[in-house]
Structure 1
């Protein structure tokens, strides 16, 4: 092709046809420019397609993270649901409405100290946000929802407050409570996330007498309110989690 253009130029020059040569040269330059622009456009489209694929993969990764979070939330809902029910049973026994055994009261009381935490699985979100691919999401409402979801911390804060309240109980200030009850646990006890204290059926503490102490009673009532807040926040987080996952799937299906 270049050889053909060269021959045409040489022929025009040989025939001393300057204006025609100039027009031809300008046309040739224009064709070259158009070719460069087309090549650039193709390259841009290629990069955009590549970025869209990466963005889609990161969104799929976020969906997987949301699924893991949902499973953790399910566990925490059952966990703090047991705590809330246990505290309610202790208070109902104190009021004479229920008549739980000392074993049941002891286990419910010790469960209140076994708090659990929650943290988002945000590796894919951090990559999406840090790489700038978040801006490649055409649905801007979806990108805002993703940022909002990972920015909210109300569940984490409520769990942190629960931990602080549960850890603040002063065993030394309650002489009826024998610390050995909390220490006499199974040989297989390990500090792993989903393990709960189980001290067996023998307590030296009379928990029906223990809960008559104003300090213990106030502690349990305060902790009940916080556990109910945690349970409510877990429910809200689960709903938001599922909504966001469905929104991402809808966007990917487009």
Structure 2
């Protein structure tokens, strides 16, 4: 084919047909340009298809991360709901509106020192964000929702504050609390400040007397407010987690 075009050019030059030669040359250049443009378009479409596949894979990974977070959030909702209910029971006993056993009161009280943390599973999101593919998503609302969700920290902060408040109680200033109730931390059990619930033993502390101390009552009221805030934040995270997961699924189904 190349030999044919070369022969044609030489023939036109030999016959001194300059006008036709120039027209032919321009036509040949035009064809080359068209060929390059087609090749570029094919390459662009290949890159777009590759990017789309990579984006969809990362979004699917984010969905899996959100599912793990949902399971954690479900656990924490139940966990902090139990703690909140326990503190309320202690305060109701203090007000004479409930009459729990000493063992129940001890369990409620020491449970207030337990805490569980939460952190997002953000590896796939960080990869999507760092690769620049986030801005290539056609639905422009989805990148905004992703950035908003992974930028939220109010639940994490409220859990940290709960931990700080729970660890701030000074047992040295609470003479009614019996030292034998400060059990050693178990190998598979984490709490602050290093307590383990006496599940199979009777508490030595008389908690009905213990909770009469104004410092103890103030501590519990303060912790109750924080636990309620944690619980509200957990519910808010559950809602945003579900909404984002559904939005991703809708995008993938389109």
Normalised TM-score (structure 2)? 0.95
Alignment coverage as a number of residue pairs: 250
| Residue matched to 1:64 | 64
> What is the deviation of 1:13?
1.6
User: 1:143-194 CA deviation, whole Å, 9 max, x = no partner?
Assistant: 0000000001010011011000000000101001123213167xx652359x
After TM superposition, the structure 1 = structure 2 runs for residues 138-153 of structure 1, keeping only pairs within 5 Å, are 138-153=138-153
> What is the deviation of 1:96?
1.1
Q: Distance in 1 between matches of 2:190 and 2:250?
A: 37
> What is the deviation of 1:25?
0.6
After TM superposition, the structure 1 = structure 2 runs for residues 166-205 of structure 1, keeping only pairs within 5 Å, are 166-183=166-183, 189-191=187-189, 197-200=196-199, 201-205=201-205
> What is the deviation of 1:198?
2.8
| Residue matched to 1:231 | 231
User: 1:45-83 CA deviation, whole Å, 9 max, x = no partner?
Assistant: 101110111011110011000000000000100110110
| Residue matched to 1:74 | 74
Q: Distance in 2 between matches of 1:189 and 1:178?
A: 23
> What is the deviation of 1:241?
0.2
| Residue matched to 1:247 | 247
Structure 2 runs not aligned, ≥5 long: none
Q: Secondary structure at the match of 1:100?
A: coil
Task: Give yes or no for the alignment of 1:109 onto 2:109.
Answer: yes
Structure 1 runs not aligned, ≥5 long: none
CA-atom RMSD, angstroms?
Answer: 1.4
> What is the deviation of 1:4?
1.9
Normalised TM-score (structure 1)? 0.95
CA contact (8 A) 1:184 1:199 kept: no
CA contact (8 A) 2:183 2:196 kept: no
CA contact (8 A) 1:189 1:197 kept: no
Q: Secondary structure at the match of 2:120?
A: coil
Greater mean alpha carbon deviation, residues 109-118 or residues 174-183: 174-183
| Residue matched to 1:42 | 42
Q: Distance in 2 between matches of 1:246 and 1:35?
A: 44
CA contact (8 A) 1:110 1:182 kept: no
The list of structure 1 runs, each at least 4 consecutive aligned residues, that deviate by more than 4 angstroms after superposition, is: none
CA contact (8 A) 1:119 1:156 kept: yes
Q: Distance in 2 between matches of 1:224 and 1:177?
A: 20
Q: Distance in 2 between matches of 1:191 and 1:126?
A: 32
Task: Flag the 1:228–1:6 CA change in 2: closer, same or farther, 3 A.
Answer: same
Q: Distance in 2 between matches of 1:189 and 1:204?
A: 23
| Residue matched to 1:83 | 83
| Residue matched to 1:128 | 128
Q: Distance in 2 between matches of 1:88 and 1:51?
A: 53
